[in-house]
Amino acid sequence: MDQNQINALAGAFAQAISQAGEGLGFTLGQKAPATAPSGTWIHGPGGLFAGSVIDKQVIALRIQPRGISSVLRAFPNVETNPQYGYVTGFLDDGDSEPATECATCPSTSTKTCVQTAQFGRVCRESKTLTLRRAIERVNRGDIDYALVNDLFGAEYSRDFFRGPGMMDRNRVMQLAVAWAMVEAGIGMQNVMHPLTWTGNPANNNAGGGYMEFPGLDILIGTTKVDAISGTTCPALYSDVKEFNYNLVNSVDAAGNFRIVRLMEYLEAYLFHNADRQGLAPVESVIVMRPELWYELSMIWPIAWMSTRNIVMQAGNTNFLDATRIREMVQEMQQSMVMWINGRRHQVVLDDGIFEYTNENDANVPAGSFASNIYFVPVKFLGGRDATFYEHQDYRVGREEASLAHLQQEFWTDDGRFLWTNERTKFCFTISGEIRPRIVLLTPQLAGRLDHVLYTPAQHFRSWDEDSDYFMDGGVTERPSPSLWSDWNDPNR
């Protein structure tokens, strides 16, 4: 959202507030705003920086959630129950071979499977705002602030959960409405980011106010069933392997590094599927938590070079070049690439992947962590999207909204977010919602390695306020300035 759009948005709210009832069709929601302003104010009395003579440039310290949502494409859609068809196999009917040339020959039957996808729903709303309070400044020292850095991570990726509007950081702190939308957007981003992996419709609220879409922990799995008959479809099963909480650098009884053997066979199995099903070439990404990646990248070159127990002839020695191994570690970390079975795979770090700790899993000792490693197909047949996001396209409702005179409702980000406002006299709130889902068209080309244990020297900061590694601080409001005046003279 550029400066002109933000100004237009602020103007639209001002117009709706000041001219409600004059042909705007302004409809009140069931939940009215509070009767007193309660917004997070940057400027004016009680503002977050009120009473402080600070520099115009403000630095945001929010840890931005990042992951696979930055590399997958997103498409608008309004179908609530899409169906995807697959030919799963061909079976001989079991007829006998013909005894003569004119006898009946055996026939073959085709088997198919249908899959579906499901939208989720996440919404957030602002605190109560007023136009009067939004435009107030304490005095000329209460300057307009500008963010030095980005809040959503949008400048570094095309993250699907980047939040609304791509708002101009040079203006977003100057408009209370824009800042309220930023707060709502960050709230939605924090909820949706881990749902890419952990989303489960079993957690939906009965009334539909909150709904989770099926995440990749479900979609990359071995429980595929036909959407119409409920019949199992093993041809669509992903390759799921268990690491059994072994340390990432552990070796088996034969002296082979477990992580190398399993990841090589996982990759080879998926490549075999793609090649023999006529779906190659496939572009896959390897996705894991950042802490696990740094532990894995430290040992992968030496593990890869020494994972086979080669029986050497007497007097022969297998030398490993320590300098070259260290160079390979650095190359992996700089390029974010893993070579497996001669094929190159991009590595994506995702801090929304669920992490097992000694607090939520008895198999994890204190000081260690466990999580999964995923092989996610991004493209197949060279350019077809294999895994992608969809969102309900609110732009399709333009004519419906026009007929109902719903001018208080609007959308941003090409129909991705729907916004509305509710008011009581001069007080109003802004509410936003998004209905997303993730679609995995080729689950048989996806896989994961579960419960890989690692013990990092230090855990990274987290975006998740419920994490032990989340850090914030400061205040959510400041006292309004108090000045002596003729009307509050204590000597009177």
By DSSP bridging, strand 447-454 and strand 387-392 are unpaired
The SS3 assignment for 209 reads coil
- The answer to whether 406 and 25 have CB atoms below 8 angstroms apart is yes
Give the whole-angstrom CA distance, residue 82 versus residue 219: 15
Give the whole-angstrom CA distance, residue 397 versus residue 115: 27
Across 27-45, average pLDDT: 64
Tens-digit pLDDT profile for residues 432-451 = 999 999 999 999 999 999 99
Alpha helices (runs of H) in 233-289, residue ranges in sequence order: 258-276
Across 66-94, average pLDDT: 92
**The model's pTM:** 0.85
Tokens of 349: 């770090």
Average pLDDT, the chain: 85
Q: What is the pLDDT of residue 114?
A: 96
Give the whole-angstrom CA distance, residue 32 versus residue 426: 12
Secondary structure element (H or E) that encloses residue 190, with its range: helix 176-198
- The answer to whether 33 and 122 have CB atoms below 8 angstroms apart is no
Q: Look at residues 210, 371, 189, 388 and name the one whose alpha carbon lies nearest to residue 285.
A: 388
Tens-digit pLDDT profile for residues 315-354 = 666 667 788 888 888 999 999 999 999 999 999 999 999 9
- Name which residue leads in pLDDT, 478 or 299: 299
- The answer to whether 70 and 158 have CB atoms below 8 angstroms apart is yes
Across 394-417, average pLDDT: 81
Across 231-238, average pLDDT: 97
Q: Indicate the angle between helix axes 3-18 and 176-198, nearest 10 degrees.
A: 110
- Fill in the amino acid letter for 481: P
- The answer to whether 127 and 138 have CB atoms below 8 angstroms apart is no
288: confidence class by pLDDT, cuts 50, 70, 90: very high
Burial tier of 377 (Cβ tally within 10 Å: 0-12, 13-18, 19+)? buried
The SS3 assignment for 255 reads coil
Give the whole-angstrom CA distance, residue 424 versus residue 73: 40
Across 94-105, average pLDDT: 90
Give the whole-angstrom CA distance, residue 173 versus residue 466: 26
The backbone torsions φ and ψ at residue 406, rounded to the nearest 5 degrees and listed phi first, read -95, 60
